[in-house]
Chain A
Amino acid sequence: MAGVAVSTTINGDAVEYLCQPDETLLEVLRDRLGLTGAKEGCGTGDCGACSVIVDGRLVCSCLVLGAEAEGRKVETIEGMAHGDQLHPLQQKFLEHAALQCGICTPGFLIAAKDLLEKNPSPTEEEIRFGLAGNLCRCTGYDKIVRAVQDAANVMKGA
């Protein structure tokens, strides 16, 4: 059971860990590094609750191996706020009550951040398709879409 030594960057910090070759990035984040903001809703890439950004690409961390993070830059929900300053998406999710139980929220925020970085002025349809890889069972998505629209407007004005 030889572990793989990995040097990576998570939320801007240099991080080193040992993981098993078959261990997912999600398992590493949650069980080895204590970053439990990414959630396991399915383990098969269907729900998006474990969304993180690796080198600018939105991925389900349950479908990425921990060893694959070597030399890359990983962004998780824990790095989204700047100190005590919430990201506009986080603030708008609160104001619009875009979460009920909140289990899908970290994944939605990461996916929405990725969406707005690539498309700062999405239409409603673009938001809906951009977030179609993230499941929410509580809200019916209405308030999530509105929060993303509002955050996009705020971020454009900033």
Chain B
Amino acid sequence: MNFDPRFSGRQFASVGTRPIRPDGVDKVTGRARYGADFNMAGQLVGRVLRSPHAHAVIKKIDTSKAEKLAGVKAVITAKDLPDLTDGDAAMYDILDNCMARKKALYDGHAVAAVAAIDARIAREALKLIEVEYEVLPHVTDVDEAAHHHAPLINDQIFTEGLEEKPAKPSNVTKRTQFGHGDVHAGFAKADFIVERSFKTEQTHQGYIEPHACVASVNPDGTADLWVCTQGHFVYRQHCAQLLGLEASKLRVTSSEIGGGFGGKTHVWAEPVALALSRKAGRPVKLVMTRDEVFRASGPTSATSIDVKIGASKDGTITAAEATLRYSCGPYAGSWAEIGAMTAFACYKLENVKTVGYEVLVNRPKTAAYRAPSAPMAAFAVESAVDELAHELGMDAVDFRIKNAAQEGTRASYGPVYGPIGIGPTLEAVKHHPHMKAPLKANQGRGMACGFWFNFGGQTCTDLNIGMDGSVSLAVGTVDVGGSRASLSLVAAEELGIDYSHVKAIVADTSSLGYNDMTDGSRGTFSSSMATISAARNAIKILKDRAAQMWDIPVDDVVWEKGHAIAKGEKYGNLSPLSLKDIAAKSGTTGGPIAGHSELVADGAGVSFATHICDIEVDPETGATRVIRYTVVQDAGKAVHPTYVEGQYQGGAAQGIGWALNEEYIYGKDGRLQNAGFLDYRIPVCSDLPMIDTQILEIPNPNHPYGVRGVGETSIVPPLAAIANAVSNAVGVRMTHIPMSPPRILAALDAEREG
């Protein structure tokens, strides 16, 4: 494949317009089928029994009474999911998380499951399963868990990344370090130093659609799985490995997905549903309740972060240092590592050091949540940066502009940046009318920056041209927020036809080669690259067919604006052939016309955003409202600007919820106390103002159209932007997220008592 992915600076006809999405009508009429909207003949209902204990040895499970209940067709425990992971520690953790093997490691950990002819009998059957637990001491707080006297969650884990292998096991699974220069020397040069510690509580992605799947395992070893997922190819691999199936015999179809935000990148219920179906010999539908989603699917990390930043009088940062502790749930992860990489990515620093510690706790296994790990690190760093600017007597925006990373800057996590958007977003914010709008009493304005890497990855796409000249585009990246529209635009652009003639679908795992999942803001970035490549391959065939129709050498044919054109004066009497003309003759010129592409989409352009927000604090109640919000972010190229705006707005709203309301609350018994949307309160319509957006387009040199990912960065700045606004409104520095009314009141009281 000779695909040139470099940015070409072309003029766009379709890309950058705002057509209606191809899956839109189905979604406004209720016809779109999500995870729980699919049924199969003879389908059973699956239900999962979950541990009520945060940490307990499973001594015995007696399923005999449940098995005898009329209407129960299968009961499974870990014994029905034998360990086929062959030493793959990460897969073993996934297996153990799907169904506890020796110990229940958190409140909500699955210990058994049933399949029955209806939900009522399935629920009844769960009550008949007898589990004997030996309850163990537990730990749910990230700082307590890191302490050497904390209850050990896994006695086989010895902290990695230390100079010497420790003698004792620990809940700290790994230490990682990033940076360059000499921070001690840097701090020695500083005139001002800010040093603070911060905490953020655990939040959930909060997708409105609970996890849902229908699994059907046949006696011949073939199987089908219908599931809401961000990555059906990844689910196929995981399920095939855990169930001992051949991957090609397990066909996974991704349903419409009702939100994921990183939370639908893991298998949880799917291997259980497949195991139930295998044992029952019938299809099984397994849908989580909202309570189960909160208790047993992927929340983000709770964190504890120490930051120290020094600057000289002229406003140059001389050194920056952070120590980051991130909870992983009860299984090893790399969440602090990512936080340590992103913490200072916005800045040009001579001396920088970050250290991350991954910490096991008796909480659900941490999953990615939109720019995973970055918002907490940005909260700590951007709060300290604001405070330092204040101490220097500098404007918060000017201080950041002075220290912003640029093209050629060596990032704190290693690589050297190409063209990047941090400086331009800051300049745009500096001149934004929002920055000059008046504020009233108890109101404050804050701003903060955010960074995310973005990701490319393995991608495979098929583009088929029908005999009527319409185009079917089959992609393997799940559409989480409008990517079928943006990818149809890209196909139309490259082929030179109208958007209305392209229809994009998400193909199942048996119809297309492997695709990484929709994560890392890769959906439109990587699949547009593969779509461009597939379209260019189709154009080669279209030119060849036109040459045949004209009976001229193919080298004399060029493709322009949807037409084959015979190049040269000697062909002056040959009218251009449209894609439709060529497609109509395809049956007699060599058969179907299609373009295929498989590639690794390297070169995802890093992404930066700067946010501005105004808040109002009620000093009597501590309640804080966001009254104005502006997002400025670099998109590289906004393929469908309306959906880019939607990503900016959605990320900001999630960040606002995280900053002000959302947190997992555990009791002393280690049980989650707010496993529902009433008590885990995500922002509702009346909580928010309109969210203004400004899209900057600094082309990514590694994509033909300059596209960068846009999905995640928008959740990174809000925590700090709001904390900075609160500080500017009422003069207290908030160091604990969420800034719920009791925490704000406590801070105000402490300030008054001085």
Q: Which of B73-81, B255-263, B418-426, B579-587 is near enough to bind chain A? A: B255-263
Bound: A36/B35 CA distance, A: 11
Interface presence of A46 (CB below 8 A): yes
B646: A residues at CB distance < 8 A: 97, 100, 138-140, 143
* Chain B residue at minimum C-beta to C-beta distance from A110: B30
Residues facing A in B257-278 (CB within 8 A) are 257-261
Interface presence of B512 (CB below 8 A): no
Q: CB within 8 A of A36: which of B33, B258, B683? A: B33
Structural contact, A46 and B28, CB atoms closer than 8 A = no
Structural contact, B28 and A86, CB atoms closer than 8 A = yes
Structural contact, A127 and B685, CB atoms closer than 8 A = yes
A104 to chain B, nearest CB (A): 5
Bound: A105/B327 CA distance, A: 34
Bound: A138/B27 CA distance, A: 14
Residues facing B in A91-110 (CB within 8 A) are 93-97, 99-106, 109
Structural contact, A80 and B482, CB atoms closer than 8 A = no
Structural contact, B21 and A94, CB atoms closer than 8 A = yes
Structural contact, A135 and B289, CB atoms closer than 8 A = no
Structural contact, B654 and A137, CB atoms closer than 8 A = yes
Bound: A37/B205 CA distance, A: 23
Map CB proximity to A onto B641-664 as digits: 1 under 8 Å, 0 otherwise: 011011001101110000000000
Bound: A2/B28 CA distance, A: 37
B1: A residues at CB distance < 8 A: none
Interface presence of B25 (CB below 8 A): yes
B706 to chain A, nearest CB (A): 22
Interface centre among B20, B21, B480, B646 (most CB of A within 10 A): B646
A141: B residues at CB distance < 8 A: 653, 683, 685, 688
B482: A residues at CB distance < 8 A: 97, 100
Q: CB within 8 A of A101: which of B258, B290, B682, B686? A: B258
B654: A residues at CB distance < 8 A: 137, 140
B33: A residues at CB distance < 8 A: 36
Interface centre among B208, B290, B642, B646 (most CB of A within 10 A): B208
* Chain A residue at minimum C-beta to C-beta distance from B680: A46
Interface presence of A28 (CB below 8 A): no
Interface presence of A77 (CB below 8 A): yes
Interface centre among A39, A103, A139 (most CB of B within 10 A): A103
Structural contact, B32 and A94, CB atoms closer than 8 A = no
Bound: A96/B19 CA distance, A: 10
Interface presence of B206 (CB below 8 A): yes
Bound: A42/B682 CA distance, A: 13
Interface presence of B571 (CB below 8 A): no
A6 to chain B, nearest CB (A): 18
Structural contact, B677 and A140, CB atoms closer than 8 A = no
Interface centre among B645, B650, B653, B687 (most CB of A within 10 A): B650
Bound: A65/B115 CA distance, A: 25
Interface presence of B678 (CB below 8 A): yes
Interface presence of A43 (CB below 8 A): yes
Interface presence of B130 (CB below 8 A): no
B34: A residues at CB distance < 8 A: 39, 103
Bound: A47/B248 CA distance, A: 38
B685: A residues at CB distance < 8 A: 127-129, 131-132, 134, 136, 141, 144-145
B23: A residues at CB distance < 8 A: 102
Q: CB within 8 A of B677: which of A35, A44, A76, A131? A: A44
B214 to chain A, nearest CB (A): 13
Structural contact, A43 and B207, CB atoms closer than 8 A = no
Interface presence of A90 (CB below 8 A): yes
A95: B residues at CB distance < 8 A: 20
A43: B residues at CB distance < 8 A: 289-290
Interface presence of B558 (CB below 8 A): no
Q: CB within 8 A of A76: which of B30, B653, B682? A: B30
Structural contact, A142 and B684, CB atoms closer than 8 A = no
Q: A103-B258, A137-B259 are in contact. Are A37 and B676 (CB under 8 A)?
A: no
Structural contact, A46 and B677, CB atoms closer than 8 A = yes
Q: CB within 8 A of B29: which of A80, A136, A146? A: A80
Q: CB within 8 A of A39: which of B20, B24, B209? A: B209
Bound: A139/B18 CA distance, A: 16
Structural contact, B653 and A140, CB atoms closer than 8 A = yes
Interface presence of A58 (CB below 8 A): no
Q: A39-B34, A141-B685, A141-B688 are in contact. Are A103 and B653 (CB under 8 A)?
A: no
Structural contact, B261 and A137, CB atoms closer than 8 A = yes
A127 to chain B, nearest CB (A): 7
A66 to chain B, nearest CB (A): 13
A143: B residues at CB distance < 8 A: 642, 645-646, 649
Residues facing B in A39-61 (CB within 8 A) are 39-44, 46-47, 49
Interface presence of B31 (CB below 8 A): yes
Residues facing A in B272-325 (CB within 8 A) are 287, 289-290
Map CB proximity to A onto B12-55 as digits: 1 under 8 Å, 0 otherwise: 00000010110111011111111011000000000000000000
B613 to chain A, nearest CB (A): 13
A75 to chain B, nearest CB (A): 12
Interface presence of A154 (CB below 8 A): no
B37: A residues at CB distance < 8 A: 30, 36
* Chain A residue at minimum C-beta to C-beta distance from B652: A140
Map CB proximity to B onto A72-95 as digits: 1 under 8 Å, 0 otherwise: 000011101100001000100111
Structural contact, A41 and B208, CB atoms closer than 8 A = yes
Q: A37-B29, A102-B32, A103-B209 are in contact. Are A135 and B682 (CB under 8 A)?
A: yes
Interface centre among A38, A76, A109, A125 (most CB of B within 10 A): A109
Structural contact, B28 and A49, CB atoms closer than 8 A = no
Residues facing B in A15-45 (CB within 8 A) are 20, 30, 35-44
B678: A residues at CB distance < 8 A: 44, 46
* Chain B residue at minimum C-beta to C-beta distance from A126: B686
Bound: A132/B682 CA distance, A: 11
A35: B residues at CB distance < 8 A: 30
A149 to chain B, nearest CB (A): 11
B668: A residues at CB distance < 8 A: none
Interface presence of B188 (CB below 8 A): no
Structural contact, B36 and A100, CB atoms closer than 8 A = no
Q: CB within 8 A of A140: which of B676, B686, B691? A: B691
Q: CB within 8 A of A100: which of B209, B650, B686, B691? A: B650
Structural contact, A78 and B30, CB atoms closer than 8 A = yes
B642: A residues at CB distance < 8 A: 96-97, 143
Structural contact, B677 and A94, CB atoms closer than 8 A = no
Structural contact, B256 and A101, CB atoms closer than 8 A = yes
B31: A residues at CB distance < 8 A: 37
Interface centre among A94, A131, A134 (most CB of B within 10 A): A94
Bound: A117/B482 CA distance, A: 30
* Chain B residue at minimum C-beta to C-beta distance from A104: B208
Bound: A68/B207 CA distance, A: 30
Structural contact, B208 and A44, CB atoms closer than 8 A = no
B207: A residues at CB distance < 8 A: 101, 103, 137
B689 to chain A, nearest CB (A): 9
Interface presence of B168 (CB below 8 A): no
Interface centre among B20, B645, B686 (most CB of A within 10 A): B686
Structural contact, A102 and B25, CB atoms closer than 8 A = no
Q: A86-B28, A94-B20 are in contact. Are A140 and B258 (CB under 8 A)?
A: no
Structural contact, A137 and B208, CB atoms closer than 8 A = yes
Bound: A44/B27 CA distance, A: 23
8 intermolecular pairs with C-beta atoms under 8 Å apart: A36-B37, A46-B677, A86-B25, A96-B642, A100-B480, A101-B481, A103-B207, A132-B684
Given contacts A105-B27, A127-B685, A137-B206, 18 further A-B contacts (CB under 8 A): A30-B36, A42-B676, A86-B29, A94-B28, A100-B650, A101-B258, A102-B32, A103-B209, A103-B258, A132-B687, A134-B684, A135-B684, A136-B685, A137-B205, A137-B259, A141-B653, A142-B688, A144-B685
Please give the residue numbers on chain B whose beta carbons come within 8 Å of chain A beta carbons, in ascending order. Answer: 18, 20-21, 23-25, 27-34, 36-37, 120, 205-210, 256-261, 287, 289-290, 480-482, 642-643, 645-646, 649-650, 652-654, 676-678, 682-688, 690-691
Q: List 8 A-B pairs, minimum CB-CB distance, nearest first.
A: A37-B30, A103-B258, A140-B653, A102-B27, A140-B649, A77-B30, A46-B677, A100-B481
